[in-house]
Amino acid sequence: MAKQQAAWGVDIGQCALKALRCNLGADGQVTAIGFDYIEYPKPLSQPDARPEETIREALEQFLSRNKVRGDKVAISVSGQSGLARFFRPPSIEPKLLPSIVKYEAKQQIPFQIDEVVWDWQQLGGFIDDGQLTDAEIGLLAMKREAVYRAMQPFLDAGVEVDIIQLSPIATYNMICHDVLGELPKAASVDPENPPPYTLVISIGTESTDVVISNGLRLWLRNIAIGGNHFTKQLAREMKLTHAKAEHLKLNSRQAEDPKAIFTSMRPVFADLSDELVRSLNYFRSIDRNATFGRTLMLGNASKLPGLRQFLEQQLELTIDRFEKFEKLGGSDVTSQKTFADNMRAFSPCYGLCIQALGESEMTTNLLPEEFIVEKIVRSKKPWVLSAVAMVMVGLAVQHALGSLYGYSTSNNFADANNKTWGAAKSKADAVSKKSGQLKGDDDKLKTELGYVNDLGGELVSAATSRTQMLRVLSAISQLIPKDPRSQDNQVDPETLPFLDREEIFIDGMTQDYFDDLTKWYTGDIKTTYEGDLKELDKALGITPPPAGTAGATDTTATTTDADADTPKGAGWTIRLSGHHYVNSTERAEAGLATGRAFVRESLLYNLLNKEVTIAGETYLLQDLGIVRPTIMSSSAPTPTMVPGAKKEDAAKAAEDEASMAEMSDEDRFKEMQKKMGAGMKSGMGGMGGGGGQSEAAEITDGVSVNRTTFVVMAAWMPQTEEQIRARKEARLEKARKAAEQAEAAKNAENANQEANGS
């Protein structure tokens, strides 16, 4: 039977290095077989401390007393060093989940994706009718430089790290394994009556991790208050050195005046309890059905006299005395005084061991991919060398035997059935010849098949491109502002003057290809785009949300496009050139939009916010990959002569519309290209309405109006149908989450106001 590999869980804290070695016993129980606890001369956060040197010396001492080679090594990093986000995807096919997660990672992680190491895992959820339902996704990330900084002491000491995990996630794994017991199946849980949650308050030296979970859902928060804050407050109030204040804090019950010590630390007690109350109120606001079963306090700072009783009063929860790990075997280790005295500080180490032994709920790993690949390659080298050696030995033996007995055999050699070697060889040669002929025929057929596949690929690619362009043309056509009073733009100008028609006419549409759209979306265009959005919000009477909030309301111009993909990679720019006549003096005096402002509040607003219908489904332009519509230029109103509309023109327009309805998709596409080509003589309102004119034509009999010409451009990153659906689902899910967060924040604010009022 193969020897069970052991695992080390190492937690380099602010005050001490903690390490726990475990393996799986014969009964499958996680068993402690070694530990170490090395306290630093002073906390790493002290001004005169030398963190790098202190950690190196502690690690050297640990390695001198313990054997690590051959064991898995998992290390933890502070929750402050990383980022943990949890979100609920919509009910989707499981195969689409990775693309949703990748999109969400780009939105949630506030750094460039190549600057971080990130991982994710699904929590809960079940498959219902082929759809993943009621799942929660845990998204963890760390800056790449922070990961290397955490690994550096181990790299310098020659220790190979297998797992890097956030400390609160390691604590969660410990809770699931040791406290929660067997977890319920997600499909059997009533959403209105979920299992009770366990609240864990893990108080470290400089911060406190709040972990709330019932095994199916997980919620984390890091509070920047730890045990060292009590010491600093005591030293400041009682004029003591840090060492004396720490000693007095831990032995306050034996002091001459325990009440004075508690009074000195009371501000920190109050700050910690306030933050915990705020955390619980927020969690209850996002899960109104939540109930708490158990509350535990971990970390050596949780042993502070009076802290548990104080928090029980403030939180109105009973905090259990956490005296031992129920499911950790190995009494030879757990019964030792040093381990027992610091048992609560070993929770992350225990959770790391559980993960390294393959028994954890969360298996995310923030170890950079290059280290994982290097480890896999190195582990396979011995097997490759062994295989090569065996091949070489076989070749050597064959050569030796061939030299000894000769490689040739007589054709007259016969077996027991009197079949000669020569006859068998002739038959084999014939079969080999036939095989070669068939193989040649097969290769020829493969070549012809490849030609047919290439031709089919070109045809499919052309059809796909044509379909994508048809979507774009249809979408833009639906978004061109049209005045319902001037159906087909053929109303007599005397009945409805051009200056009163709130509509836009498109004179032409062109596309330009870019191998990298960032070359187009430069600083000037970005500044123009953002400036128009601000003006549009101002015109709509909308105040943009502060930085860092969930987002604006659905009517905010910046909502739909500002968070969409930044133009990048290969794609196209779409250029719409057009004009309008909404420039009357009466309209301007009434404070209504004219000139560029009318383009912004009609066409630009539609491109940003209005949905279009394609094949029975509704989409925004950003779902199709069209983003950052920008008014590149607009002219001042210029007097222009426009011809009057005639009845025969209306009849001709109706005839053209009926003719296009009967065309095939390909013919309609060609006709639309003609109508939207550069120099097109009619507006795009209704795909063929009147109101435009050729710049070269001179009109002597018509209506004089003030005409504004403009150019609007946007970036287009072509998307497949599957990508379009995924982008829409991700956008709707983000909007839903933003609404939930806003509602939760509002509820939390109301709860705080009620609490303050009471």
Q: Residue 408: its pLDDT value, please?
A: 54
Distance CA 183, CA 435 (A): 60
Nearest CA among 506, 524, 532, 525 for reference residue 692:
506
Task: Identify the three-state secondary structure at position 463.
Answer: helix
Nearest CA among 372, 376, 380 for reference residue 162:
372
Instruction: Give me 429's structure tokens.
Output: 């040669």
Residue 644: which pLDDT band, with cuts at 50, 70 and 90? low
Strand 292-298 relative to strand 197-203, pairing: parallel
- Evaluate whether 607 touches 628 at the Cβ level (below 8 Å): no
Q: Encode 292-337 in three state secondary structure.
A: EEEEEEECHHHHCCCHHHHHHHHHCCCECCCCCCCCCECHHHHCCH
- Evaluate whether 179 touches 327 at the Cβ level (below 8 Å): no
- List, for residues 496-528, the tens digit of each pLDDT value: 776 777 889 898 889 888 888 888 888 888 889
Q: Is the pLDDT of residue 643 over 80?
A: no
The mean per-residue pLDDT over the stretch 186-213 comes to 89
Other CB atoms closer than 10 Å to residue 337's CB: what's the count?
A: 7
Residue 685: which pLDDT band, with cuts at 50, 70 and 90? very low
Task: Identify the three-state secondary structure at position 167.
Answer: helix
Distance CA 342, CA 337 (A): 9
- In the chain, the N- to C-terminal Cα span, in Å, equals 67
Q: Residue 421: its pLDDT value, please?
A: 73
- List, for residues 533-582, the tens digit of each pLDDT value: 898 888 887 665 554 443 443 335 544 444 456 888 888 899 999 998 88
Residue 201: which pLDDT band, with cuts at 50, 70 and 90? very high
- Evaluate whether 87 touches 139 at the Cβ level (below 8 Å): yes
Residue 253: which pLDDT band, with cuts at 50, 70 and 90? confident
DSSP H helix total and E strand total for the chain: 21, 19
- Evaluate whether 682 touches 691 at the Cβ level (below 8 Å): yes
Angstrom distances, CA of residue 137 to CA of 97, 100, 123, 738 = 10, 10, 6, 16
CA angle 293, 297, 303 (to 5 degrees): 145
E strand intervals along 679-721: 703-716
